[in-house]
Amino acid sequence: MAVHREQTVRRLLDRYLVEIVEAYELCPWARAARVGGELAVAVLWQEPALDDWVAAAERALAEPRTRVAMIVAPEYTGSLAELRSLRDRVAARVATAGVAEFHPEAPLDLATPAKLVPFLRRAPDPLLQLVPLALLEAVRAAPPPPDLAAQARMLGGAEIAPRATVAERIAAANHARVSVNPDELAARFAAIAEDRARAYARAGINASRRPR
């Protein structure tokens, strides 16, 4: 039964990764990590304590091939704000990785690329994603060269605005892509959420949410 429960959680996570993250190209490294066996996933049951999150993160990051670790808590009932607070506490103790929170109740806000990010992280279950800082630094240290138009302006002596960070470029591209038809993306999230409700009921996973 425990194996079946974990397989159910992982199937829903894979739907999110394939049908949302990869289909909309939200992260340029997501598919490579998943199909290359570089994604480590751990599932925590009930309401995990801080020590449980930290221990699972450290075990996942200790695996030699891990480029991305996801610690999933399908029965966690905390709000997005509470998960963010938890993220900060985990990050303070796992100093070797960058930590991001994913929560299924994040609202849609298209006002700016940054405000859209939480909605794109509407994974089926609350989770923390960890990426080793060494990998993040390697990405930040190797920005793409300027396009030909920018190179021409530079050669002509024109001032060039500071180049956006990797995260800012990805967020801007995602915002432009999703803004074309946000209802389509919302429908995909809804389909995964409906699948989750049915599958978790069959598997005996507590999928309830605290009243807000």
Q: Could you list the pLDDT tens digit for every one of the 212 residues in the chain?
A: 677 999 999 999 999 999 999 999 998 888 999 999 999 999 999 999 999 999 999 999 999 999 999 999 999 999 999 999 999 999 999 999 999 999 999 999 999 999 999 999 999 999 999 999 887 776 555 555 455 554 444 444 444 445 567 778 889 999 999 999 999 999 999 999 999 999 999 999 997 665 44
Asked whether residue 17 is domain-assigned, the answer is: yes
Asked whether residue 187 is domain-assigned, the answer is: yes
Asked whether residue 10 is domain-assigned, the answer is: yes
Asked whether residue 212 is domain-assigned, the answer is: no
Asked whether residue 77 is domain-assigned, the answer is: yes
Asked whether residue 134 is domain-assigned, the answer is: yes
Q: Which among 11, 3, 60, 62 has a CA at the least distance from the CA of 196?
A: 11
Asked whether residue 211 is domain-assigned, the answer is: no
Non-local (6+) Cβ contacts of 126 within 8 A are: 72, 73, 74, 76, 78, 83, 101, 102, 103, 104
* Other Cβ atoms within 10 Å of 150 Cβ, number: 14
User: CA 21, 130, 135, 19: dihedral to nearest 10 degrees?
Assistant: -10
* Other Cβ atoms within 10 Å of 64 Cβ, number: 5
* Other Cβ atoms within 10 Å of 198 Cβ, number: 10
Q: How far, rounded to the nearest angstrom, does the alpha carbon of residue 138 sit from its chain's CA centroid?
A: 19
Element of type H or E holding 114: helix 113-120
Q: What pLDDT is attached to residue 166?
A: 74
Q: What pLDDT is attached to residue 1?
A: 67
Contact 157, 68 (CB under 8 A): no
- Nearest 5°: phi and psi at 41? -120, 130
- Tally of residues, the chain: 212
Domain carrying residue 124: 2-203
Asked whether residue 210 is domain-assigned, the answer is: no
Q: How many domains does the chain have?
A: 1
Non-local (6+) Cβ contacts of 53 within 8 A are: 44, 71, 73, 86, 90, 128
Contact 116, 46 (CB under 8 A): no
Non-local (6+) Cβ contacts of 184 within 8 A are: none
210: left (phi over 0), alpha (psi -120 to 50) or beta: beta
